[in-house]
Amino acid sequence: MKQIAAGAATVGFGFVLMITVGTAAIGGSGTSASAAAVPGGLKEGAIPAAYLPWVQKAAALCPDESPSLVAAQIWAESGFQDKDGPPTSSGTAKGPAQFIDSTWLVYGKDDDGNGTASPHDVGDAAMALGRYMCSLFDLAKKSGYPGGAPALALAGYNAGWGAVQRYAGVPPYKETSDYVAKIQAKAAEWQLSAPPPVSGSGSGADAVRKAAGYVGVPYVWGGGSPGGPTTGFCDTNNGWLDGACFASGHAGFDCSSLVQNAWWSTLHLPRTAGDQYTATASRPVPMGALSPGDLIFYSHSGSGSDSYHVVMYYGDGKVIEAPKTGKNVQIVPLYTTGGLVGATRPA
């Protein structure tokens, strides 16, 4: 932000989460906050995995933001690097979102729960960028200036809102016009089309809509809570990727925490897949009569209480799930392999 003018489907926990876009609350402390479902998302692999949940969470702060726009802005600011910019008359820009000290004092918070509000922390920086951009979107929409709210807000982030006011639109600075253009182009390149619409109403459809807002969030063994994505951990067999413990360094969901999060506002389901089956087994559903939000369980032993995996029926022959380490929350065709036990209706 250079203001150039003033102004794993293995037995263990028994929870695997299958889903495809994906954010939320993060941090080793497990601190999290509910985030609104974000339409669309980011193409898989577009940005570093450590940034993905925070980008989604920041995009949920206001309706004008999107995951692709937040991601493209951090890319333009720092290339997803923690670095300091060159000294300027406004101060030295710091961290992934390149905040100067005066702006950080207004928008910076300890969002990742590590005890320090720092522009060098991925989570703190992304969320501060989201808050600042939401305020700029509000100014842009009220201004009546031409160019569209996204371009005006981006220009305000780069050059300062005073410069936008001075020129009653995007300032005619080459740096600012290039900044706006490359971010909007990259956002369009990275944008993933919105998940298919969820049919129907009621608690099941609402649960699916909430889960769809996390498409693209990483699968994290032991991660996820009713509040959103969190870091997880590794055991002997789970959470590892390419020889390193992926789960402890990334925020996301496993299969059952995604289901728990999706249903939480209506029904407080237990944490693991096996316990979720036990809690809902009194309401079985034939596989030919599934409705959005129904839970589908898989077990190696054939016993639902021993389920290692759970997915949610999305509708139109599809399920939403968090599949395994190395994959993201996704929407895929309903499958009956892998020890299908059957389906239940939570409420």
The set of catalytic residues is: 255, 309, 321
Sign of CA dihedral 77, 187, 248, 208: positive
Q: Which helix (H) or strand (E) holds 340?
A: strand 340-344
**Residue 185 burial (C-beta neighbours within 10 Å; 0-12, 13-18, 19+):** exposed
For the chain, give percent helix, strand, coil, nearest 5: 35, 15, 50
10 Å CB burial of residue 115 (0-12, 13-18, 19+) is exposed
Joined tokens for residue 213: 């807002």
Q: Sign (positive/negative) of CA torsion 19, 25, 26, 29?
A: negative
Spatial contact of 159 and 3, defined as CB atoms under 8 Å apart: yes
Q: What is the end-to-end Cα distance of the chain in Å, rounded? A: 48
Rounded Cα–Cα distance for residues 190 and 51 (Å): 14
Beta pairing, strands 240-241 & 230-231:
unpaired
Cα angle 169, 172, 177 (rounded to 5 degrees) comes to: 90
- The rounded distance, in Å, linking the Cα atoms of 24 and 225 is 10
d(CA 314, CA 330): 11
